[in-house]
Chain A
Amino acid sequence: MNATWSRFNIVSIVLGFAFLYLPIVLLVIFSFNASKLVTVWGGFSTQWYVALFNNRGLMDAAWVTIRVGLISATVATVLGTLAALTLTRYTRFRGRVLFSGMVFAPLVMPEVITGLSLLLLFVAIGFDRGFMTVTLAHITFSMCFVAVVVQSRLMSFDRSLEEAAMDLGAPPVKTFFQITLPVIMPAIVSGWMLAFTLSIDDLVISSFTSGPGATTLPMKIYSQVRLGVTPEINAACTLLIAIVAIGVIIASLANKRREVQRLRDEQAAQRG
């Protein structure tokens, strides 16, 4: 196909990218603003980054967010993987449709409802809201995303690999840990990263289920912004963007290198 750089194409691309990324670019630029006014450029400065690291409230919130993210992503990955295994391996058991529906319902459930229902549950059973409840809530909603990612990998998994392992004398549990798990590991890692990302940027469910001393970064930022945007917040967001961007770039570079290496190997093998 011929790429034609007509005026129309150029304009639509520029507008499209501007719509998507201009706000982020502005945010990054203004995080280096020397002026305290968020919308007026007063020269280059990194003072807000210094201020950010001295801001106990924001740093505490960041630490809570990371801990909640790590724990909830890990537990959700274990549970989501088990759910995916059950759904792909045991295609006929009583209540399978119900189970599958319940596993995937949080995907489409409005967050407000998930958050509110969890809040009601915690209140009803007298569970003090705090770090535990936020983490539990995050496990609940991110588990289904892990299940989706792992299930799609398991669908294309060649069962004869497991049969071969058992045929060679490995009992089922050993087969799972030595064959199945290593082969589906990339999907499990993607699932974990997805769960972690969802957890660290969740606002709605965290707001419902969090309590004193367990304020997450998005909650903190949101509450501060309501009092007026400070350049400190811009700096915090810029750091978040940088971390996510670096993660994505590393992942895609590694993927690309693996792909190239694989292609080269296969061509070499074809030649004999």
Chain B
Amino acid sequence: MKSLGSIRRDFAPWADPGAKPYISFENVTKKFGDFIAVNDLSLNIYEREFFALLGASGCGKSTLLRMLAGFDEPTSGRILLDGQDLRGIPPYRRPVNMMFQSYALFPHMTVEGNIAFGLKQDNMPKAEIEARVKEMLRLVKLEQFAKRKPHQLSGGQRQRVALARSVAKRPKVLLLDEPLGALDKKLREETQFELMDLQQSLGLTFVVVTHDQEEAMTMADRIAILDKGEVMQVATPAEVYEAPGSRFVAGFVGNVNMFEGRVAARDAGIARITGASGAEIIVENAGDAETGNAVSFAIRPEKIKVSSRRPEGAVNAMEGEVFDLAYLGDMTVYHVRLDDGQVVKASSLNASRVTEDPLTWNDRAWISFPPDAGVVLTR
């Protein structure tokens, strides 16, 4: 049997130009009065993909989900599901099901009743409904709670009932609106993996809306980062983190240090960037930046090394003073104020229990990084 990891490694329909998208947003715009919630947005989602819509509140991610479910219609543009235009199809005739942020469990029905509700709408034979409900209860490990009402369940149990109810009809697509938002941290981490297993074992397409980047990174095959109703970048979690397409994406996902400067020289892939204070950075992946462009150099804190002396042979090194540090156990985060005034965050893994050369507040320190540790951003 293939492990989850190997299935996921092989799964990349978006990279195949011949693959047909399963869900397509084509130039979709949605206005509420004068407010533009979604602005001329196009997006493809493939079959069996675990797709995350990530963004701050008000970025239009929930509106996209509601348009897929049929609660809102696009003002212009169209949404295709498996080649079919969804315009005008009411929510109760769409082959998608949604798990609501508030769970929306029917308070007057038992757990069983909630799960069976969707199946009854399809006039499924009674015996089949019973069997399916049992199967769903087993899937979410709630067999002994079948006769309970929603208010007799804990938050985590309610979440699982909502999940069971939304997958009971075997929809083509499952939409999840902040599925883990109401759970505490520990439960959230466990449930993330349960959701991924469920998606793989049922072979469904998942579209999840979240504002939690860690959640999106953990679960999704690809992430769409949204801002003000527009897609900023669609990519795998690793690409989003290591190769952000813009300053917004770099700043939105994870921690980042930004150096502003101008491309002084460029030779093949290698560029020399000069900052306002005269500091120079040599970069290998300069992308499409051209000589003279104003650019940002973005580098993640864990890619920066902090030391008390200038490391020998370092291509990029700058001197400063440790101005703050936070010991987190597994790692230490240094805030180094460079001599030109910029504060740089650098985190170093505490791989051994004792450090020979401990840096502390107000120590002089060097930061250094190799030429391929960061990216050059023009947008």
Q: Which A residues have a C-beta under 8 Å from some C-beta of B?
A: 158, 160-161, 163-171, 174, 178-179, 182-183, 262, 265-266, 268-270, 272
Contacts and interface: CB of A to CB of B under 8 A. Distances in A.
Given A161-B106, A163-B71, A163-B104, A170 B98 contact: no
B67 to A, nearest CB: 13
B107 interface: yes
B118 interface: yes
B114 to A, nearest CB: 9
A169 B151 contact: no
Contacts of B117: 165, 168, 170, 178
A166 B154 contact: no
A161 B70 CA distance: 15
Contacts of B92: 166-171
B106 A179 contact: yes
A270 B100 contact: no
A172 B166 CA distance: 19
Contacts of A270: 154
Interface of B: 69-71, 90-93, 96-98, 100-102, 104, 106-108, 117-118, 121-122, 149, 151-154, 157, 165-166, 169
Given A163-B71, A165-B117, A269 B100 contact: no
Contacts of A266: 151-152
A158 B106 CA distance: 10
A168 B152 contact: no
A225 B152 CA distance: 55
Contacts of B98: 163-164, 167
Given A167-B69, A268-B152, A183 B118 contact: no
Main secondary structure of the interface of A (DSSP, over half): helix
B230 to A, nearest CB: 26
A98 to B, nearest CB: 23
Contacts of B71: 163
B4 to A, nearest CB: 28
B153 A269 contact: yes
Contacts of B151: 262, 265-266, 269
B97 A168 contact: yes
Contact of A170 (B96, B104, B121): B121
B100 to A, nearest CB: 5
Instruction: With a 10 A CB-CB cut-off, give which of B90, B96, B149, B154 has the most chain A CB atoms.
Output: B154
A165 B102 contact: no
A179 B101 CA distance: 18
Contacts of B70: 166-167
Nearest to B102: A160
B122 A166 contact: no
Contact of B154 (A168, A171, A269): A269
26 contacts: A160-B102, A160-B104, A161-B104, A163-B69, A163-B98, A163-B104, A164-B100, A164-B104, A164-B106, A165-B106, A166-B91, A167-B69, A167-B91, A167-B96, A168-B92, A168-B97, A168-B169, A169-B92, A169-B93, A169-B121, A170-B117, A174-B121, A182-B108, A266-B152, A268-B152, A269-B152
A42 to B, nearest CB: 56
Contacts of A182: 108
A265 B121 CA distance: 30
A166 B98 CA distance: 10
Contacts of A166: 70, 90-92
Given A166-B90, A168-B97, A269-B151, 20 more contacts: A160-B100, A160-B104, A161-B106, A163-B69, A163-B91, A164-B98, A164-B100, A165-B106, A165-B117, A166-B91, A167-B69, A167-B96, A167-B97, A167-B98, A168-B118, A168-B169, A171-B90, A174-B121, A183-B107, A270-B154
